């Protein structure tokens, strides 16, 4: 997946996709495998979903390993790094990964005046602190010339502002800023860092809201220039490009993947 041969005992690229048991993360894992990368997928509570991701990676001729990870609990990160090292050695005879996708998270909206400190802290732990510290923890395992892609949201952009998402959107905005800083600080190792900001996307992340609220779905489609909701693979295709040699000259960018939402 990288334009530079990784410093591993294997020439097989390997991508870690954090939060890959469903939705965009699952689709990104499959796309990475289609591009020739081995995949380490993580899950929190959805072990069955992670097993499905592994099976779908194998269907396209790839190899995947599923590892548990609670992105909201940074005390588990050192042990996770050890599990990644073990998976690399045992499955790919490697000691480095060439790609990292920070995708884990959760959604939900609450009006600003009603947002509790507990809600704000949880958004912070999972959406910003988690990706920040898991990237820091895995950094020694990322090959020079590798790539990092962070999943943000167009709720952090002027095009995606909606009432009730002040906490969620603010943390996703912080992810975009972090992306630029990582791109600058890791450039000496030729590690590219970008983010993608999906618009309304029909994933399990939405908790069935699109099916239960057809009037909301119709409104979102009406506001989207290309005339439909996003699909997980829409964002996953862009993630795969940014991980690949095709994205070798792209860094410090946020790519909105929304079909022209509010265009």
Give catalytic residue positions.
168
Alpha-carbon distance of 42 to 45, in angstroms, equals: 10
Q: Describe the crossing of helices 166-185 and 130-138 by its angle, rounded to 10 degrees.
A: 20
The three-class DSSP label of residue 17 is strand
Contact 145, 190 (CB under 8 A): yes
Q: What DSSP designation does 155 have?
A: G
Collapsing DSSP to helix, strand or coil, 93 comes out as coil
How deeply is 256 buried, as exposed, middle or buried, from its count of CB atoms within 10 A (0-12, 13-18, 19+)?
buried
Strands 142-151 and 97-102 turn out to be: parallel
């Amino acid at each position: 997946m990288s334009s530079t041969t990784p410093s591993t005992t294997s020439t097989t690229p390997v991508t870690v996709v954090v939060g890959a048991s469903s939705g965009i993360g699952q689709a990104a894992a499959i796309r990475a495998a289609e591009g020739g990368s081995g995949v380490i997928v993580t899950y929190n509570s959805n072990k069955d979903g992670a097993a499905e991701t592994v099976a779908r990676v194998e269907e396209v001729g790839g190899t995947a390993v599923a590892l548990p990870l609670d992105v909201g609990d940074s005390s588990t990160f050192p042990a996770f790094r050890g599990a990644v090292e073990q998976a690399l050695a045992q499955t790919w005879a490697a000691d480095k990964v060439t790609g990292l996708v920070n995708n884990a998270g959760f959604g939900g909206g609450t009006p600003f005046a009603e947002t509790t400190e507990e809600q704000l802290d949880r958004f912070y732990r999972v959406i910003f602190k988690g990706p920040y510290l898991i990237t820091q923890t895995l950094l020694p395992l990322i090959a020079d010339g590798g790539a990092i892609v962070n999943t943000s949201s167009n709720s952090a952009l002027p095009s995606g502002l909606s009432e009730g998402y002040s906490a969620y959107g603010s943390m996703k905005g912080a992810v975009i800023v972090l992306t630029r800083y990582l791109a600058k600080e890791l450039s000496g190792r030729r590690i590219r860092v970008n983010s993608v900001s999906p618009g309304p996307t029909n994933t399990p992340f939405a908790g069935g809201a699109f099916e239960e609220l057809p009037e909301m779905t119709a409104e979102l489609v009406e506001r989207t220039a290309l005339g439909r909701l996003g699909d997980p693979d829409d964002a996953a295709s862009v993630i795969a490009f940014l991980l690949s040699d095709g994205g070798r000259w792209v860094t410090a960018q946020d790519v909105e993947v929304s079909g022209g939402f509010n265009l």
